Structure 1
Amino acid sequence: MFYREAGQFKISYQADQQIFPIRQDRVAMAVFLLVAFVAVPLLASPYWFTAILIPFLVFALAALGLNILTGYAGQLSLGTAAFMAVGAFSAYNLVLRLPWIPQIVSFLLAGVAAAAVGIAFGLPSLRIKGFYLAVATLAAQFFVVWALQKFPWFTNNSSSGVISAQEVNFFGISINTPMRNYLFVLCVVSVLALLAKNMVRSNTGRKWMAVRDMDVAAEVIGIPLMKTKLLAFAVSSFYCGVAGALYAFCYIGTVEPEAFNLDMSFRVLFMIIIGGVGSILGSFIGAAFIVLLPTLLSFVIPPLAELFHMSFNKASLTYIEFMIFGALIIFFLIVEPHGLARLWQIAKEKLRIWPFPH
């Protein structure tokens, strides 16, 4: 009743192919962005900015990059954290050694550096696929971390290997408060998400999905596999590289190899599995779920443990988080492989015909 396109006529191809063809979707997106850019900065506390909102946006961008590669192009990857590390260290060295470049440009160039590394480690995808490709990208994780620790130039000859990220500024405007960091990250993520949404609807996105569904048939109809696969690795690594730069500069404030470990790669992978593989919206839903779940458990588990007279400590909470993550992964792989985004899509389809039966 409230979510129907009846009466919304399209009189041009451009109107029919716009990102949000239904008026209700356009209004909902406008309201959401208004809340994110105006209401949240006015109402949220510094804790919400630093502990929840900024990591949610950063991980959503990283999950979006992995979703482009795995969800749309069908290429498995376990090296997301490695590409994020390349982006973080590239941004640090660009800001350090080329201070005349605007910092936002340094972040984008860091994404380009990550894209170059992604192409190099994406070359095995031309010969192998599936589990073997995942193992090849896993090698990237260990190699990148080893290289960052082995060559002191990347860390500016720091003895500890842990270096503080430079203060973020946007064309000379200092961004040294949680709210400004949040708005800066939100702007970058919004623009890149919009570009990704357009990209997957373009000729390039259709080529990715053709290769994902059946690469042999895609090659038969004239789609160049090498170019298509390597482009998917490049774009995915670019998004992960920018996410890594934002993670280091706007979230943790330090640039260190151990921050981008294998656990982070699996965490981003869990985000797209729970949120929805092959869905832009699923990347954001999965990131929100993974980021908010530990906070929710920290409020719920201690009172329940006290109610049932059970011993409880911080380590117990960590183990409970792992158990819940594992159970959720199994649940979504069995019950709804397309994740929470698919459940939202089903809800919208039901709203279109409500109150009539499906």
Structure 2
Amino acid sequence: MIIGNRKTSYLEDEKILNNNYKKAFVFGMIALAIALPFFADDYTILMASLVGIMLIAVVGVNVVIGYTGLLSLGHAGFVAIGAYSVSIIHNLLGEWGVPDVLQPWLALPGAMGVAALIGILVGLPSLRVKGIYLAVATLSANFIIIFLIEIDTFSQWTGGRLGLTTPDPNFFGWVLDSQREVYALIAFCAFATILMVQNLFRTRVGRAFIAIREKDYSAEILGVSLLKYKLTSFAISAACCGLAGAMAAYFYAKVLPEQFELALSLQLVAALIVGGMGRTMGPVFGTIIIVLVPEILKISMGAMMGSSIEAAQLRAPIQEIVFGGLIIGFVLFEPLGISQIMDRFFRALNRWPFARG
């Protein structure tokens, strides 16, 4: 019976894709994402783009909750900051006469930077409180951000309750003015975000995050600065969510405040729980499930009940019940989420025919 994998170097031990089945799965997903615009219809591109946008945000949530162990329910606010900031910066650069081809290269880092700064401010309570108290504090920050977007004081920049028209980015003279074209940018940013965050946890900073998650007092005794690393965690997480918001602004013709309210924060956390907290592929699996479940319900209920108003009214509570059931089920029976299930599956494939169970 095979009871382990023989490794002959530290480099081999550090590999993420440590068997051929994992490599085939990941490279197959990359190939599918690249090929999708050439054969998929508009509806499939829409769903894939929504998965990509939410995936970037869930990767950011994973930094704070999954790796640093700080419970946050306010990340929808960071997504909103990214969406509004990138649009506002584009408008300002246009007024200042900056060429269109340079605007995205300034607006995207600018939006991520603004989101990171707000993330540091929102993360300050984590130095004094934790658990449910920190969740309430970050949730309050989400409400404050949406309130500031909607009030008349800033409506000349944010558009208030009427929303803000978003720009079409121009990369090297290529104007991304269709959803199919923006999908390519979203897919690239999603893969780049996963890769960069995964490699972050091979560094001193990432190990400090994990030490704080396991026991913050012990980490502090060992020389880990809670002030520095907790705020760094919030900054990186908020920057990822800001990038997701910027992608949403490029994808949609208009952004509205109600797109970034509590429901989005709960969806981000639900996707992380279902997929697996503190795992590289957890956000990927969780995001796919959370985005596709409503569509599967819509299609199945449409087939059973038709496209009546009653069916649409019934679908909303059923969707919430399904989400709640998924979260409860994974918390009780598989706390490490779908990622752990897939790991067991790939290990079994790798050791076949000796694997059991």
Pairwise same-fold verdict (TM > 0.5): yes
CA distance in 2, matches of 1:338, 1:207: 21
Identity %: 31
Corresponding residue number in structure 2 for 1:171: 172
Corresponding residue number in structure 1 for 2:27: 30
CA distance in 1, matches of 2:219, 2:158: 48
2:73 pairs, out of 64, 68, 78, with 78
Q: Cα gap change, 1:303/1:30 in structure 2, threshold over 3 Å: closer, same or farther?
A: closer
Matches within 5 A, 1:152-167: 152-153=153-154, 155-156=156-157, 158=159, 161-167=162-168
- Paired residues, number: 347
Q: Is residue 59 of structure 1 aligned with residue 57 of structure 2?
A: no
What's the offset of the Cα at 1:112?
1.1
Q: Cα gap change, 1:318/1:181 in structure 2, threshold over 3 Å: closer, same or farther?
A: same
- Per-residue displacement from partner, 1:12-67 (whole Å, max 9, x unpaired)? x5454344344553444333212211x211111112112x0100000011111001
CA distance in 2, matches of 1:319, 1:229: 37
One-letter identity of the residue aligned with 1:334: L
Matches within 5 A, 1:322-333: 322-333=320-331
2:89 pairs, out of 91, 94, 118, with 94
Q: Cα gap change, 1:155/1:87 in structure 2, threshold over 3 Å: closer, same or farther?
A: farther
CA distance in 2, matches of 1:262, 1:90: 20
CA distance in 2, matches of 1:104, 1:18: 33
Corresponding residue number in structure 2 for 1:254: 254
CA distance in 1, matches of 2:347, 2:15: 19
What's the offset of the Cα at 1:103?
0.9
- Per-residue displacement from partner, 1:235-263 (whole Å, max 9, x unpaired)? 0000001101111221x321222221111
CA distance in 2, matches of 1:17, 1:76: 28
CA distance in 1, matches of 2:143, 2:309: 38
CA distance in 1, matches of 2:322, 2:81: 31
Q: Is residue 342 of structure 1 aligned with residue 340 of structure 2?
A: yes
Corresponding residue number in structure 2 for 1:129: 130
1:41 pairs, out of 34, 37, 43, with 37
What's the offset of the Cα at 1:178?
2.2
Q: Is the 8 A contact 2:330 2:337 kept in 1?
A: yes
Q: Is the 8 A contact 1:65 1:239 kept in 2?
A: yes
CA distance in 1, matches of 2:118, 2:250: 21
Q: Is residue 265 of structure 1 aligned with residue 261 of structure 2?
A: no
CA distance in 2, matches of 1:311, 1:242: 36
Structure 1 residue runs without a partner (length 5+): none
Structure-1-length-normalised TM-score: 0.90
Q: Cα gap change, 1:146/1:175 in structure 2, threshold over 3 Å: closer, same or farther?
A: same
Q: Cα gap change, 1:157/1:59 in structure 2, threshold over 3 Å: closer, same or farther?
A: closer
Corresponding residue number in structure 2 for 1:240: 241
CA distance in 1, matches of 2:151, 2:208: 39
- State the SS of the aligned residue for 1:59: helix
Q: Is the 8 A contact 1:5 1:22 kept in 2?
A: no
Structure-2-length-normalised TM-score: 0.91
CA distance in 2, matches of 1:27, 1:349: 13
CA distance in 2, matches of 1:68, 1:136: 18
Q: Is the 8 A contact 1:152 1:158 kept in 2?
A: no
Structure 2 residue runs without a partner (length 5+): none
- State the SS of the aligned residue for 1:148: helix
CA distance in 1, matches of 2:278, 2:184: 27
